[in-house]
Amino acid sequence: MKTKCLTIRDVAEAAGIIASGGLLGIPTETVYGLGANGLDEKAVHAIFEAKGRPQDNPLILHVPGEEWLERYCQDIPAVAYELTDRFWPGPLTMILRRKDNVPDAVTAGLDTVGMRCPDCTVTRAVIEKADVPVAAPSGNASGRPSPTTAAAMLEDMDGKIDAILDDGPCAVGVESTIIDLTVQPPRLLRPGGVTLEELEEVLGDVAVDDAVRRLMAPGEQPKAPGMKYRHYAPKAPVTVVKGDPDMTAGYIVARMGEKSGILCFDEFRGYFRGHPVETMGPVSDQAEQAREIFEALRAFDHLDVTDIWAQSPDDEGIGLAVTNRLNKAAGFHIIEL
């Protein structure tokens, strides 16, 4: 299959691909997604095939606004609308009880479904025009870092999807926050663009799923099935070093091998001369770290490195999402100084 590149002027063509059961790369403010008609079982199966995704890992549905929640969800708590008022369109996915019209292929047989309204005008226009919810996981091949540009998505998906809609680089850079509203207190299943602190302002008490901060033991089941898989990983093994940035830089310098790659803050690039270095923005700019993290992890696959050392960002605010992705890329191989 030849993958066509579409622009924001091609809404009608993009919507036609969705409506006719095809696969479309969609831009969102978080990462590019691999979209298909979420009511079309066959199209949904094609997503799993293109990604090489395990069948037990459910997909989220993308909708153009909170008016669509009732089409696919039931027993919607009032607090869901408080969240949509404040955070939609935006990087927040809500887990709600589903209606029967949502295919099992989307939810992997669960009685809940993830609902998200992306902050991306062209993608919402495509969904409106197709008039179906768009099921979309991140547009990477299963296990790889998520794509934050159309070019990164094509690296994994060229020839496997009908088209990709290019709307430039993603503004947030890490996937949406996932909050489960079917339990009390609501539970954070995946940290993302909407921070835990922001959620607490609306919800009060929020439980944080164990899978956010540590590796799941074999047989342990996190509530978001996707959180159990090794993920976001470059080919070379990653070690994360946590602590004051001056100390972590010094620690890495003392231990790096001849072919070690380094993921560091901008300020520390000079420490690692002679080594392949990817930077993730300044120490104090967490939003930039979120935008850079996946491209930096992807870049190492094009470099001749045997292992990768990474300085760890702070885990306040969106830093919780950035450290979660980095720690997962490292299989939670973390050294705390």
Q: Which is nearer to ligand TXA, 38 or 226 (CB)?
A: 226
Spatial contact of 312 and 334, defined as CB atoms under 8 Å apart: yes
Question: Helices 150-157 and 286-299 meet at what angle, rounded to 10?
Answer: 30
Kindly tell me which residue out of 225, 243, 250, 317 binds ligand TXA, with binding defined by CB under 6 A. Answer: 225
- Print the binding letters for residues 103-142 with Mg ion: x by CB under 5 A, - otherwise: -----------------------------------x----
- Beta carbon of residue 180, minimum distance to ligand TXA (angstroms, whole number): 6
Q: Which is nearer to ligand TXA, 249 or 326 (CB)?
A: 326
Measure the CA–CA gap between 195 and 202, rounded to whole angstroms. Answer: 11
Q: Which is nearer to ligand TXA, 178 or 188 (CB)?
A: 178
x/- letters, 47..76, toward ligand TXA (CB under 6 A) = ----------xxxx----------------
Contact status, residue 292 vs residue 152, Cβ threshold 8 Å: no
User: Among residues 109 and 257, whose Cβ is nearest to ligand TXA?
Assistant: 109
As to burial, measured by CB atoms within 10 angstroms (0-12 exposed, 13-18 middle, 19+ buried), residue 166 is buried
Q: What is the dihedral of CA 32, 33, 34, 39, to 10 degrees?
A: -150
Site for ligand TXA in 26-45 (CB under 6 A): 28, 30-31, 33
Query: 25 is written with which tokens?
Result: 């790369």
CA distance 142 to 51: 5
Number of other residues whose CB lies within 10 A of the CB of residue 74 = 12
Nearer of residues 140 and 311 to Mg ion, judged by Cβ: 140
Which of the listed partners (ligand TXA, Mg ion, none) does 224 bind, with a CB threshold of 5 to 8 Å by partner kind? ligand TXA
Contact positions toward Mg ion, by CB under 5 A? 138
